[in-house]
Amino acid sequence: MTTLPASTAPPLLRLAGVSHTYSGQRRRTTVLKDVDHTFERGTFYTVLGPSGSGKTTLLSLASGLDTPTKGTISFNGQDLTELGLGRYRNKHAATVFQQYNLLTYMTALQNVTTAMEITGAKPVTGTRRARALRLLEDIGLDRATATRNVLRLSGGQQQRVAIARALACDVDILFADEPTGNLDEDTAQGIIDTFRDLAHEQGTCVVVVTHSQHLASQSDRVLRLRKGRLTEQVNAR
Ligand SMILES: Nc1ncnc2c1ncn2[C@@H]1O[C@H](COP(=O)(O)OP(=O)(O)OP(=O)(O)O)[C@@H](O)[C@H]1O
């Protein structure tokens, strides 16, 4: 594949004129209004906003789980609907959901290795199992915990399995919805450090939705969602 010079290369992810309306039985709710934004490689973004402002909706659209009612979303210059939402989610984007979405009949380890098999992620060295165990251990889950059924893990441990699963897939963009919500301070800081390293050392684009000012203050770019509009603030560190 030919690599375009930086000046002419399209942004990794671009939202252009994106609006989103939910149609209920009685009324329609417009959550996003004409959102224009680009997300680049090697950058750690956070999205802040009051409860109900549409942060999860923005993440669902940008991660290819849903399509906007108006506007376009493109990855490397290609419209997601042309690329195929399934292909985008399988090959290029991983999401850590608020509810974890783990496969409940599997162990933590199997959740991670299964995701690697589905997405075709291959470790540089060693087996998928070894890489999965390493990722789980790095995130604070030892082998005994990794081989337990996920339903026998605490909420915070399940959250870490969901994060390890997303990290294992070697994607271009990682989305996470409140990934530190259930974690103690030290573990949460470890996750923030992992996200930052992923962006700065591996060039991944990391987009995290959060209510935490502390987390946001450690990201490269802070976006705010309010009344359907997305704006960027300069992150004073
Ligand atoms: N599937 C849906 N159908 C109808 N309305 C929805 C749907 N999903 C979300 N909404 C509404 O859209 C608005 C934005 O919801 P969203 O979950 O995106 O907000 P949020 O900023 O992530 O909230 P929180 O911080 O509380 O998680 C809310 O008013 C919500 O009730």
Model confidence over 215-234: pLDDT tens digits? Answer: 999 999 999 999 999 999 86
**19 φ, ψ (degrees, to nearest 5):** -125, 150
In the chain, what are the domains? 13-76+85-232 (3.40.50.300)
- For the residues of 86-122, what is the DSSP string, one character each? HHIIIIIEEEE-TT----TTSBHHHHHHHHHHHHT--
pLDDT at 45: 97
Asked if residue 5 has pLDDT above 80, the reply is: no
Whole-angstrom Cα distance, residue 102 to residue 111?
7
Asked if residue 169 has pLDDT above 60, the reply is: yes
pLDDT at 8: 74
Question: Which atom of ligand 1 has the smallest separation from the CA of 49?
Answer: 21
To which residue do tokens 């987390």 refer? 215
Asked if residue 212 has pLDDT above 70, the reply is: yes
Model confidence over 26-50: pLDDT tens digits? Answer: 889 999 999 999 999 999 999 999 9
Q: Strand 229-233's sheet: what is its strand order?
A: 93-96, 173-177, 205-209, 44-48, 221-226, 229-233
Residue 27 CA to ligand 1 centre (angstroms): 14
Question: Which atom of ligand 1 has the smallest separation from the CA of 59?
Answer: 18
Query: What is the reported pTM?
Result: 0.91
**How high is the mean pLDDT of the chain?**
92
| Residue-wise burial string across 131-161, b where 16 or more C-beta atoms lie within 10 A, e elsewhere | bbbebbeebbbeeebbeeebeebeeebbbbb
Specify the DSSP class assigned to residue 221. Answer: E
Asked if residue 51 has pLDDT above 90, the reply is: yes
